[in-house]
């Protein structure tokens, strides 16, 4: 196992049956004392490695990597995506943020809008929220489910279990088509969220990040935690693992995420495409022509 992988493996869940959210401490830093400059150095190294791997992924043009980010508000999704992906070539990377579905999207099955956003071969796709909202916010607020235009006979007590099954089948389908999937739950504590909300209210440059809706969702904290735990238990698989990442210490969160992304890319056996004899002859001809100019 590479050094990079070692940092993230303790947070990896690929068999959900034994998973309990309470076993992950949001304040955990694996005993690392991360002062700002040390953390920045470590992350910079990780980002370089990640950029090299992404370059090969792009050149090989066969596989894709889908990174799914889920979290409560202020857990640090945006900042983590920004920092971890800071070194990668923007041409090889696609980010999509999923908000409440539009009228057009509600006229389709729940995975329809996801299909259009899947990463092309050779790319890294990032979902800032995702189809998992369908078993998170929709489960916590069942009025959203009622507005989903489903035939009433299909809306039963089994609907969450059915959605977990559909999501897992979808993820297996993607993995069988060369798309690796890695899912992150940035696990922030209730107390740390409060602190970050207060900061958003106090600092004018952070005001725009605060919305009243966030404070409303905070009231449903326990329901969300239950929904997250159930979703992770039901959908953590070897082909689409979850990483439950401690999120109270941002530098640590970013290191763990970078390490998990590197681990996923290293598992793909990436290499630059080999140049065959015909191509070599072509390159030689081009060289001679240029030299003769």
Judged by the rule CB under 6 A, the positions of this chain that interact with ligand ATP are: 73, 78, 97-101, 128-129, 133-134, 137-138, 144, 211
State the binding partner of 172 from ligand ATP, Mg ion, none, CB within 5 to 8 A by kind: none
Token look-up 């958003």 returns 200
Please, are residues 266 and 56 in contact by the beta-carbon 8 Å criterion?
no
The residue among 152 and 208 lying less far from ligand ATP, judged by its C-beta, is 208
Task: Find, among 185, 184, 182, 207, the residue nearest to 197 by Cα.
Answer: 207
Q: Quick one: 32 or 159, whose CB is closer to ligand ATP?
A: 159
Sign of CA dihedral 188, 190, 191, 194: positive
Query: Judged by CB under 5 A, how many residues of this single chain contact Mg ion?
Result: 1
- Among Mg ion, ligand ATP, none, the one that 99 touches (CB under a kind-dependent 5 to 8 A) is ligand ATP
Residue 129 CB, nearest approach to Mg ion (Å): 9
Q: In this chain, which of 73, 134, 230, 249 binds Mg ion, going by CB under 5 A?
A: 73
Strands 12-13 and 124-128: unpaired
- Residue 101 or 119: the one with the smaller Cβ distance to ligand ATP is 101
> Taking CB within 5 to 8 Å according to partner kind, which of Mg ion, ligand ATP, none is near residue 133?
ligand ATP
Is the CB of residue 268 less than 8 Å from the CB of residue 10?
no
Report angle CA 88, 45, 262 to the nearest 5 degrees. Answer: 60
| Distance of closest approach, residue 145 Cβ to ligand ATP, in angstroms | 9
Q: Which residue, 110, 107, 87, is CA-closest to 98?
A: 110
- Of 134 and 217, CB closest to Mg ion: 217
Stretch near Mg ion under the rule CB under 5 A, chosen from 14-22, 69-77, 200-208, 280-288: 69-77
Instruction: Report how far apart, in Å, the C-alpha atoms of 220 and of each of 43, 144, 170, 203, 216 are.
Output: 34, 15, 29, 25, 7
- C-beta separation of 171 from 238 below 8 A: no
Q: Which residue is nearest to ligand ATP (CB)?
A: 133
Residue 137 contacts which entry, Mg ion, ligand ATP, none (Cβ below 5-8 A, type-dependent): ligand ATP
List residues near Mg ion by CB under 5 A: 73
């Amino acid at each position: 196992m590479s050094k990079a992988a070692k940092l993230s493996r303790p947070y990896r869940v690929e068999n959900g049956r034994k998973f309990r959210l309470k076993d992950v401490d949001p304040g955990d830093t694996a005993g690392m004392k991360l002062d700002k400059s040390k953390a920045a150095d470590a992350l910079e190294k990780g980002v370089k490695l990640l950029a090299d791997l992404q370059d090969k992924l792009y050149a090989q043009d066969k596989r894709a990597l889908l990174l799914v980010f889920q979290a409560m508000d202020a857990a640090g999704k945006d900042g983590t995506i920004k920092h971890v992906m800071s070194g990668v070539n923007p041409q090889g990377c696609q980010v999509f943020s999923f908000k409440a579905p539009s009228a057009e999207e509600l006229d389709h099955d729940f995975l329809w809008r996801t299909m259009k956003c899947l990463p092309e071969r050779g790319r890294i796709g990032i979902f800032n929220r995702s189809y998992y909202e369908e078993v998170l916010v929709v489960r916590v607020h069942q009025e959203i489910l009622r507005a989903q235009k489903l035939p009433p006979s299909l809306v039963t007590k089994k609907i969450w279990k059915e959605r977990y099954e559909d999501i897992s089948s979808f993820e297996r389908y993607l993995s069988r088509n060369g798309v690796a999937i890695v899912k992150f739950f940035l696990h922030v504590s209730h107390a740390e969220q409060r602190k970050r909300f207060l900061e958003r209210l106090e600092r004018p440059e952070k005001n725009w990040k605060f919305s009243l809706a966030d404070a409303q969702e905070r009231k449903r904290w326990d329901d969300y935690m239950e929904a997250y735990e159930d979703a992770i238990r039901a959908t953590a698989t070897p082909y689409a693992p979850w990483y439950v990442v401690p999120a109270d210490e941002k530098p640590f969160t970013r290191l763990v995420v970078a390490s998990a992304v590197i681990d996923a890319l290293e598992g793909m056996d990436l290499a630059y495409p080999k140049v065959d004899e015909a191509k070599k002859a072509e390159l030689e001809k081009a060289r001679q022509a240029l030299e003769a100019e």
